[in-house]
Amino acid sequence: MFPSDLNEAAAGLSTESTCIGPHIVVGITHPQTCLTLTGRLHALGEAGFRVTLVSSPGELLEKTAAHEGARAIALRMERGMAPLADLLSLIRLLRLLLLLRPEMTEFSTPKAGLLGGLAARLAGVPARIYMLRGLKLNTAKGLKRRILLGAERLSARCAKVVLCNSASLRSEALALRIAPAAKLKLLGNGSSNGVNVTRFSPGESEVRTRLGLRRETPVIGFVGRLTRDKGLPELIEAFELILQSQPEAHLLLVGWYDASEDALSPALQGRIERHRRIHCTGYVADTAPFYRAMDLLVLPTWREGFPNAVLEAAATGLPVVTTECTGSRDSVVPEVTGLLIPPGYPEAIAEAVIKLLRDPARRRQMGIAARAWVVEHYSDARVLALTADFYRNLLQESRRQE
């Protein structure tokens, strides 16, 4: 059952109240963020928590909750600035938390982090976590940046703990005075979910055959939302430069055109769709075979928390070219598992990609090192065990303070 109305949610409380274990509400703004929760909700359930997932309505909300063994509640939240709609969402969130009375909340993404954090504090939830997955303000300017920074500080103030997705993200949050050092936590080496190193592993793939590509054809890959903040405009410009040196190369874009504030222009979308050497898959549920069809991954992003795509590519044995931006720079060991470049420079992307395409032995060596590094530090078993232990300890500490 996936209720979209709070009265329906309340109707199920009598049954739920008989379940054993502390109750945690995990909240996100948009259902597409459910893609980052794979394994996390299940791990919390295995650790003894009753898990409720809250986000705006969408098929991914329902599918994720069913797959993870969580309960889903749809509650609409706008991704952009919408004061009246936000006030209504805040009231609904507060009412929901007063009905559910969870012992713990974990809200992430900017809007859910703010509204959910406020509602959790007003509802008196003992253990309140703000999961900082990235800083949208990194690509904002002027008044908008000041508003976003104020929202981040308020979200952090409402939380007991701000859980940072990477070491550089924690450093950036500290430098921006989003929260004091004692409140900013980093588990292990970072990442909210880690990566399934069995699912994402080297091997054969039929993707090249489906695309009509030979085994020896150079394939440059990208996985994620097709947006400006992910560096797609720069990647497309870089690909034209790459073709001058590597005329047989193809670009494989595994992702969808996200209708967000940083959406690609219709002109650029049309350019991508018409390009005979660019393959755009749209949303893909299982990306593992697509990584195996690539020679390397490029993520020319402007901002990240900790990019899952880089970990998945590394686990598959691929070298990665990504930027020195917050979050992304944590996902590569420079010159060992991949290459770091400054953001915003198509020439830098092209130079790094061409360097790796011309040196198959170095690509193989980097890929081997990348998989070993991910297996040691970022397996989902390790990351999720750290998360479950931290949440149990935080809950015990909150109970002692009551």
Residue range 183-222, pLDDT digits in tens: 999 999 999 999 999 999 999 999 999 999 999 999 999 9
Start and end residues for every CATH 3.40.50.2000 domain found in the chain: 6-190+380-401, 207-377
Residue 185 β-bridge partners: 163
- Give the chain's mean pLDDT: 93
Residue 282 has pLDDT above 70, yes or no: yes
Residue 398: pLDDT band (50, 70, 90) is confident
Q: What per-residue confidence (pLDDT) applies to 15? A: 42
Dist CA 367 CA 201 (whole Å): 11
Position 6 scores a pLDDT of 55
Q: Model confidence over 347-390: pLDDT tens digits?
A: 999 999 999 999 999 999 999 999 999 999 999 999 999 999 99
Query: Which pLDDT band holds residue 79 (cuts at 50, 70, 90)?
Result: confident
To the question of domain 6-190+380-401 being in CATH 3.40.50.970, the answer is no
- Long-range (24+ apart) CB contacts under 8 A made by 202-207 are 202/292, 202/316, 202/317, 202/367, 202/371, 203/292, 204/292, 205/289, 205/290, 205/292, 205/293, 206/289, 207/252, 207/289, 207/290, 207/292, 207/293
17 pLDDT more than 50: no
> What's the average model confidence in pLDDT over 304-332?
97
| Residue 145: both structure tokens together | 């940046």
**For the segment 41-72, what is each residue's pLDDT rounded down to a tens digit?**
999 999 999 999 999 999 999 999 999 999 99
Strands (E), 103-229: 104-108, 127-132, 161-164, 184-186, 219-223
pLDDT for res 35: 87
How confident is the model over 237-247, as a mean pLDDT? 97
3-state secondary structure of 278: strand
Place 11 in a pLDDT band, splitting at 50, 70 and 90: very low
Phi-psi region of 331 (alpha: psi -120 to 50; beta: other; left: phi over 0): alpha
Taking each continuous run of H as one helix and of E as one strand, the counts in the chain are: 16, 13
DSSP letter at 109 equals S
Residue % of the chain over a pLDDT of 70: 95
State whether CATH 3.40.50.2000 applies to domain 207-377. Answer: yes
**What pLDDT, on a 0 to 100 scale, did the predictor assign at position 16?**
46
